């Protein structure tokens, strides 16, 4: 098992220890790294100037809102191409599109074919969608066989880089019962062992059962994977990391002071960034938003990484413009916000977070050269 050491991070950076969080630390103080990186990291990577590079490891681009459809009603034209273009403007170079059932997994693969070398897919059935196995037009056995075949063929073609989103969600049992979730998490783990892709995992209020089922197959899953949109406790996070599982952070991971304490403790070697759009944005009421507002202007101005690209505007969907983000609809161009909050929590330069997450995600999902 790889043990994290602050001294093992890039020679270009320094890591800092900061005091435990409190509500006062968010509202009454300014979050600052206690040392600077070299100016804009000249001489970085054989003379190349440093630049931000992001992988959004969890983005739901198959959701109808990116086709302009909200709650079944068309509100504006499809603008997925513009969403992807805005991602590129902030150097979010790789987008891993989440498959949450058989249909969305197929659609995710289709998008990877339309946007090669930018979009990649996961294949799997979300715990809240596992009722499909029971109520679908074909038997559970047939659906599982179709899922396994899709995952294997998409892996072979290079379009799928992860198996998931699979796991357990006891916060939303009204969508799928515990018994059904348990059965089909276990059965999908059998497929995962066959396909041998890193896993894209979901765990909500189910840690004991989640670890029991996952642990039973760990020896057969050497590629491990990421527990995305992590909102569990520090103890739960530490158990996952000790067993080689990585942690994905988005706005939902930064809602409360308690959430932020957990994120502060995630070792950099196990950290990944995501938006989980169109959901999980960092909202003004979130603890993470207080971190963003507490950065000194001088620090923001010196960094080449902007919290948000000032040239990109946000509008309500009723006033939609193709070049604008839609308020309330999260998208990959907002991923620098997540990086900045994590940097503030850890007391490090944002470049440290960006480099660590990029390297972890590129390596975990085998997305090509990290340079």
pLDDT in tens, 223-245: 999 999 999 999 999 999 999 99
Mean predicted lDDT score pLDDT of the chain? 89
CA–centroid distance for 344 within its chain: 18
Mean pLDDT, residues 100-104 taken together:
98
Q: Which two tokens stand for residue 287?
A: 């603890």
**Count of domains for the chain:** 2
CA–centroid distance for 11 within its chain: 26
In percent, how much of the chain has pLDDT > 70?
Answer: 87
Residues 327, 356: one domain?
Answer: yes
Residue keyed to tokens 């630049």: 51
Q: If DSSP codes are grouped into helix, strand and coil, which group holds residue 164?
A: strand
Give the C-alpha separation, 343 to 352, whole Å. 8
Residues 135, 236: one domain?
Answer: no
Is position 8 within any domain? no
Beta bridge partners of 120: 96
Residues 319, 361: one domain?
Answer: yes
Residues 275, 165: one domain?
Answer: no
Residues 340, 236: one domain?
Answer: yes
For Cα atoms 67, 71, 75, give the angle at the middle one, nearest 5 degrees.
50
At residue 29, the pLDDT reads 30
Q: Of the ranges 3-12, 29-38, 111-120, which is most confident?
A: 111-120
Is position 180 within any domain? yes
Mean pLDDT, residues 24-44 taken together:
37
Give the C-alpha separation, 148 to 145, whole Å. 5
Give the domain extent around 123. 91-205
Say how many CA atoms lie within 13 Å of 78 toward its Cβ: 8
CATH number, domain with residue 276: 3.20.20.140
Q: Can you state the angle between helices 102-114 and 140-157, rounded to 10 degrees?
A: 20
Residues 146, 182: one domain?
Answer: yes
Q: If DSSP codes are grouped into helix, strand and coil, which group holds residue 232?
A: coil
The tens digit of pLDDT for each residue in 115-150 reads 999 999 999 999 999 999 999 899 999 999 999 999
Contact indicator for 40, 354 with CB cutoff of 8 Å: no
User: Of 327, 320, 347, 309, nearest to 54 (Cα)?
Assistant: 309
Is position 249 within any domain? yes
At residue 301, the pLDDT reads 79
Q: If DSSP codes are grouped into helix, strand and coil, which group holds residue 52?
A: coil
Q: Which two tokens stand for residue 335?
A: 């991923």
Is position 11 within any domain? no
User: Of 6, 16, 32, nearest to 302 (Cα)?
Assistant: 32
Top-confidence residue, 299 or 185: 185
Residue 302 — pLDDT band, cuts 50, 70, 90?
confident
At residue 14, the pLDDT reads 34
Residues 363, 255: one domain?
Answer: yes
Q: Which two tokens stand for residue 119?
A: 């979009």
Say how many CA atoms lie within 13 Å of 232 toward its Cβ: 27
Beta bridge partners of 94: 55
- Give the end of a domain, one of 205, 237, 255: 205
Q: If DSSP codes are grouped into helix, strand and coil, which group holds residue 104?
A: helix
Residues 264, 340: one domain?
Answer: yes
Is position 141 within any domain? yes
User: Does the pLDDT at position 357 exceed 90?
Assistant: yes
Q: Give me the phi and psi of 106, to 5 degrees please.
A: -65, -40
Residue 85 — pLDDT band, cuts 50, 70, 90?
very high
Is position 219 within any domain? no
The tens digit of pLDDT for each residue in 156-186 reads 999 999 999 999 999 999 999 999 999 999 9
DSSP state of 44: B
Give the C-alpha separation, 197 to 357, whole Å. 19
Residue 369 — pLDDT band, cuts 50, 70, 90?
confident
Q: Which two tokens stand for residue 132?
A: 């499909």
Mean pLDDT, residues 350-364 taken together:
98
Residues 234, 346: one domain?
Answer: yes
User: Does the pLDDT at position 22 exceed 80?
Assistant: no
Residues 132, 175: one domain?
Answer: yes
User: Does the pLDDT at position 105 exceed 50?
Assistant: yes
Residues 229, 323: one domain?
Answer: yes
Is position 181 within any domain? yes
Give the C-alpha separation, 201 to 185, whole Å. 10
Residues 181, 294: one domain?
Answer: no
Give the C-alpha separation, 295 to 334, whole Å. 17
Is position 230 within any domain? yes
At residue 295, the pLDDT reads 85
At residue 303, the pLDDT reads 85
- Give the end of a domain, one of 145, 170, 205: 205
- Give the end of a domain, one of 170, 205, 240: 205
């Amino acid at each position: 098992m790889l043990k994290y050491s602050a001294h093992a991070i890039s020679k270009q950076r320094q890591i800092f220890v900061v005091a435990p969080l409190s509500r006062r630390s968010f509202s009454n103080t300014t979050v600052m790294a206690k040392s600077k990186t070299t100016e804009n990291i000249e001489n970085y990577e054989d003379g190349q100037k440093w630049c931000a590079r992001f992988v959004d490891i969890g983005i739901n681009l198959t959701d109808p809102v990116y086709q302009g459809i909200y709650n079944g009603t068309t509100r504006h034209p499809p603008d997925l191409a513009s969403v992807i273009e805005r991602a590129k403007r902030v150097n979010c170079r790789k987008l891993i599109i989440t498959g949450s059932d058989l249909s969305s997994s197929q659609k995710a693969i289709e998008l990877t074919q339309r946007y090669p070398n930018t979009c990649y897919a996961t294949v799997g059935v979300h715990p809240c969608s596992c009722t499909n196995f029971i109520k679908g037009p074909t038997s559970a056995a047939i659906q599982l066989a179709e899922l396994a075949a899709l995952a294997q063929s998409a892996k072979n073609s290079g379009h799928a880089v992860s198996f998931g989103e699979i796991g357990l969600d006891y916060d939303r049992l009204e969508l799928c019962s515990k018994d059904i979730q348990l059965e089909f998490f276990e059965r999908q783990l059998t497929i995962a062992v066959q396909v041998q892709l890193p896993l894209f995992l979901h765990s909500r209020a189910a840690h004991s059962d989640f670890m029991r089922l996952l642990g039973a197959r760990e020896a057969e899953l050497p590629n491990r994977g990421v527990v995305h949109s992590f909102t569990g406790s520090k103890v739960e996070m530490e158990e996952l990391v000790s067993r080689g599982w990585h942690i994905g952070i988005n706005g939902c991971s930064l809602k409360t002071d308690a959430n932020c304490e957990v994120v502060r403790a995630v070792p950099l070697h196990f950290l990944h960034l995501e938006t989980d759009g169109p959901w999980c944005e960092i909202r003004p009421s979130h603890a993470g938003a207080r971190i963003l507002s507490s950065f000194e202007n001088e620090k923001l101005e010196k960094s080449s990484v902007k919290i948000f690209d000032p040239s990109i505007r946000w509008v309500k969907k009723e006033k939609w413009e193709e070049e604008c983000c839609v308020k309330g609809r999260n998208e990959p161009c907002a991923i620098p916000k997540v990086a900045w909050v994590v940097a503030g929590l850890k007391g490090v330069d944002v470049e440290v977070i960006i480099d660590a997450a990029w390297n972890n995600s590129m390596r975990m999902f085998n997305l090509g050269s990290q340079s």
